């Protein structure tokens, strides 16, 4: 899927290309056409999934061919729970709208309100604001809500957590009846559903259920290791855990063949299945795996598509796939039909891009589990340690926001 197939204009596509985004993320593929259709949208998406672009891009597109706003009026209002998020979203609006005649600004506490009042007076199309400062501007008659066409509630679950429920209700009461409302939240909790009930009109729900369902059923573990020691670690894991059957994934046919030689040398019965092998050879290998004479089956992504073996206890990714959806297919080979399964990925420092893409596609962050005796020596993996957030999760590119959240918790409320 390419951005150019989502119905976005040339000016936006140019800005996206400048950001270096090759493909839309899962939430973008679903949310962009939904928002462009003009419907209300309620989407479950966590930080790091590309959710900001999922609403900013189509909202900017909606402003094309519209007359500029009058003084003190805005067409698009984006509400965020924290100052840090407001600043980040406003920056995204600026970047994505650089080739459009759109004016935008941010309004949040900690910065003198006078400059924000001045900016609103000079005509703004898109305003990104925290709830407290937004109402402050309204009460000072620096802002008029009558021309608002689109309202976005970003990280709505955090707004409730931070106690902004009353402010949200008041903002809602001030909005024009006819408008498009978008709500993004990490989860659809009961509280969020209740909040959305009165504010959204027959919204399209976006949950990326297919991906998340597979992913939820499987325990996922990432072991960082030097690339040169992956086969050694694989043999160590197979000997330590003694799973009755394991499906191992290799990105290349040559890699799969090499692994089989190494496993056999270590006394582990194994066989490879990939596109270079004849149909007859593949059938024999699969039969051997089914009847238990082959303990470890090493497969490439394409060859694995035809494998139908239920209830595998374990899948091991010796390397991470380039395409995030392949990861979901791979781990979907275990934990089937409600059986518990584990998916282990051996991650080396040259695979950070793939890891981030997978995290984005499945909407969650992995934690790295180091194995004694196999600690990675390379700098890039150790950098992952610096990037652990307060929950011990690996944070490939969301560190600034986590910090922001920690500060936000301390400050508690923003005005
Ligand atoms: P968000 O979930 O909106 O906080 O985005 C997380 C990060 O992903 C940000 O650094 C974005 O710039 C980046 N991003 C958003 N969409 C894409 C994409 N399609 N490809 C690569 N990176 C992206």
Sheet containing 204-206: order of strands: 104-107, 126-129, 76-79, 150-153, 180-185, 41-44, 204-206
Q: Please identify which residue in the block is written with the tokens 């694995």.
A: 304
Task: Calculate how far, in angstroms, residue 13's C-alpha sits from the geometric centre of ligand 1.
Answer: 15
Residue 404 has pLDDT above 70, yes or no: no
What letter would DSSP give residue 239? H
Taking Cα atoms as reference points, which of 99, 148, 151 lies closest to residue 124?
148
Average pLDDT score, the chain? 84
**88 within ligand 1 shell (Cβ under 6 A):** no
Helices 51-62 and 26-36 meet at what angle, rounded to 10? Answer: 20
* C-alpha of residue 92 to centroid of ligand 1, in Å: 10
What is the signed CA dihedral for 38, 40, 44, 50, rounded to 10 degrees? 30
Token reading at 297? 């089956």
Among residues of the chain, what percentage have pLDDT more than 90?
Answer: 55
Regarding the beta carbon of 50 and ligand 1, being less than 6 Å apart is answered: yes
- pLDDT at position 336 is 52
pLDDT: is 89 or 385 the higher one?
89
Tokens of 320: 């991470």
More confident residue, 283 or 75: 75
Distance CA 411, CA 271 (A): 58
Q: Tell me which DSSP letter residue 274 carries.
A: -
- Report the nearest-CA residue for atom 22 of ligand 1: 21
Q: Residue 306: what pLDDT? A: 57
Pocket residue to mutate for ligand 1, from 206, 323, 360, 404, most atoms within 8 A of Cβ? 360
Asked whether the predicted pLDDT for residue 61 surpasses 90, the reply is yes
Cβ of 295 below 6 Å from ligand 1: no
Residue whose CA lies nearest to ligand 1 atom number 1:
50
- Closest residue by Cα to residue 76 from 181, 208, 203, 233: 181
Cα 150 to Cα 134: distance, rounded to the nearest angstrom: 15
Instruction: Return the residue whose CA atom lies nearest to atom 13 of ligand 1.
Output: 50
Q: Which atom belonging to ligand 1 lies closest to the Cα atom of 47?
A: 2
The residue nearest atom 14 of ligand 1, judged by CA position, is: 50
More confident residue, 190 or 46: 190
Q: Which residue has the higher pLDDT, 378 or 342?
A: 342
Q: Which two tokens stand for residue 112?
A: 């003198």
**Count of beta carbons in the 10 Å neighbourhood of residue 224:** 26
CA-based nearest residue to 63, from 3, 135, 132, 150:
150
Q: Per-residue pLDDT averaged across 39-47, rounded?
A: 86
Helices then strands, counting H and E runs in the chain, come out as: 18, 13
Distance CA 272, CA 252 (A): 11
Q: Which two tokens stand for residue 370?
A: 């180091």
What's the pLDDT score for residue 45? 80
Instruction: Please name the residues in contact with 261: beta carbons below 8 A apart, sequence gap of 6 or more.
Output: none
Query: Judging by DSSP bridges, how do beta strands 246-249 and 314-317 pair with one another?
Result: parallel
- Predicted pLDDT of residue 210: 54
Q: How confident is the model at residue 47 (pLDDT cuts 50, 70, 90)?
A: low
What average pLDDT does the segment 169-189 reach?
Answer: 92
Q: Is the CB of 24 under 6 A from ligand 1?
A: yes
CA distance 388 to 383: 9
Encode pLDDT of 236-275 as tens digits.
Answer: 999 999 898 899 999 888 999 999 999 999 999 999 988 7
Structure tokens at 22: 């090759």
pLDDT of residue 5: 93
Range scoring the smallest mean pLDDT among 57-61, 225-229, 281-285, 394-398:
394-398
> Average pLDDT for residues 323-350, to the nearest whole number?
79
Whether the CB of 21 sits within 6 Å of ligand 1: yes
- Which residue has its alpha carbon closest to ligand 1 atom 6? 48
CA–CA separation, 298 vs 218, rounded Å?
20
Minimum-distance ligand 1 atom for the alpha carbon of 52: 3
Mean pLDDT of 43-70: 87
397 in contact with ligand 1, CB cutoff 6 A: yes
User: What ranges make up the beta strands (E) of 239-382?
Assistant: 246-249, 270-273, 296-299, 314-317, 341-347
CA 345 to ligand 1 center in whole angstroms: 23
For position 215, what pLDDT does the model report? Answer: 64
Give the mutation target among 53, 82, 88, 401 for probing the ligand 1 site: most ligand atoms within 8 A of CB.
Answer: 53
Specify the pLDDT at position 213.
57
Band of residue 391 on the pLDDT scale cut at 50, 70, 90: very low
140 or 307, higher pLDDT:
140
Q: Taking the model in full, what pTM does it have?
A: 0.59
- Mean pLDDT of the 104-113 span: 92
pLDDT digits over 197-241, tens only? 889 999 999 986 555 556 667 889 999 999 999 999 999 999 999
- CA 218 – CA 329 distance, rounded (Å): 12
Query: Is the CB of 48 inside a 6 Å radius of any atom of ligand 1?
Result: yes
Rounded to the nearest whole angstrom, what is the distance from the C-alpha of residue 49 to the centroid of ligand 1? 6
In tens, the pLDDT along 358-388 reads 888 777 788 899 999 999 986 544 334 333 3
Nearest-CA residue for ligand 1 atom 15 is: 50
Q: 38 C-alpha to center of ligand 1: Å?
A: 23
* pLDDT, tens digit, 9 for 90 and up, residues 10-39: 999 999 999 888 888 888 999 999 999 999
Largest CA distance in the chain: 78
Per-residue CA distances from 360 to 7, 338, 388, 393 (Å): 22, 25, 17, 14
The DSSP line for 268-324 is: --EEEE-TTS-HHHHHHHHHHHHHTS--EEEE-HHHHTT-----BSEEEESS--SSH
List b or e across 33-65, with b for residues whose CB sees 16 or more CB atoms inside 10 angstroms. bbbbeebbbbbbbbbbbbbbbbbbbbbbbbbee
């Amino acid at each position: 899927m390419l951005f150019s197939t989502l119905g976005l204009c040339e000016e936006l596509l140019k800005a996206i290309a400048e950001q270096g985004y090759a493909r839309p993320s899962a939430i973008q593929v679903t949310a962009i056409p939904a928002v462009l259709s003009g419907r209300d949208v309620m989407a479950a998406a966590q930080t790091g999934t590309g959710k900001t672009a999922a609403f900013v891009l189509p909202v900017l597109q909606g402003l094309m061919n519209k007359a500029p706003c009058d003084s003190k009026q805005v067409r698009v209002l984006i509400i965020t729970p924290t100052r840090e998020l407001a600043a980040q979203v406003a920056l995204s609006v600026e970047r994505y709208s650089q080739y459009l005649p759109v004016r935008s600004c941010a309004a949040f506490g900690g910065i003198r309100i006078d400059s924000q009042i001045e900016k609103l007076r000079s005509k703004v199309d898109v305003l990104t604001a925290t709830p407290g400062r937004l109402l402050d501007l309204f009460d000072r008659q620096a802002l008029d809500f009558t021309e608002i066409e689109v309202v976005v509630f970003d990280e709505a679950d955090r707004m409730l957590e931070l106690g902004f429920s009353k402010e949200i209700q008041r903002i809602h009461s001030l909005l024009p009846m006819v408008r498009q409302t978008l709500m993004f939240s990490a989860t659809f909790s009961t509280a969020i559903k209740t909040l959305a009930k009165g504010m959204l009109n027959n919204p399209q729900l976006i949950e990326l259920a297919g991906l998340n369902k597979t992913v939820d059923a499987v325990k996922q573990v990432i072991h960082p290791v030097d690339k040169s020691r992956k086969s050694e670690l694989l043999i160590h894991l197979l000997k330590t855990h003694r799973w009755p059957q394991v499906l191992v994934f290799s990105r290349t046919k040559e890699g799969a063949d090499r692994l089989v030689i190494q496993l056999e040398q270590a006394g582990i019965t194994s066989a490879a299945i990939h596109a270079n092998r004849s149909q007859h050879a593949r059938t024999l290998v699969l039969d051997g795996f089914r009847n238990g004479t082959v303990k470890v089956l090493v497969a490439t992504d394409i060859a694995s598509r035809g494998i139908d073996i239920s209830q595998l206890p374990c899948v091991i990714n010796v390397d991470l796939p380039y395409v995030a959806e392949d990861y979901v297919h791979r781990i979907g080979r275990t934990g089937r039909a409600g059986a518990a399964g584990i998916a282990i990925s051996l991650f080396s420092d040259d695979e950070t891009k793939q890891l981030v893409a997978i995290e984005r596609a499945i909407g969650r962050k992995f934690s790295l589990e180091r194995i004694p005796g196999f600690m990675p020596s390379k700098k890039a993996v150790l950098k992952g340690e610096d990037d652990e957030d307060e929950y011990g999760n690996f944070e490939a590119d969301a560190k600034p926001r986590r910090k922001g959240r920690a500060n936000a918790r301390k400050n508690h409320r923003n005005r």
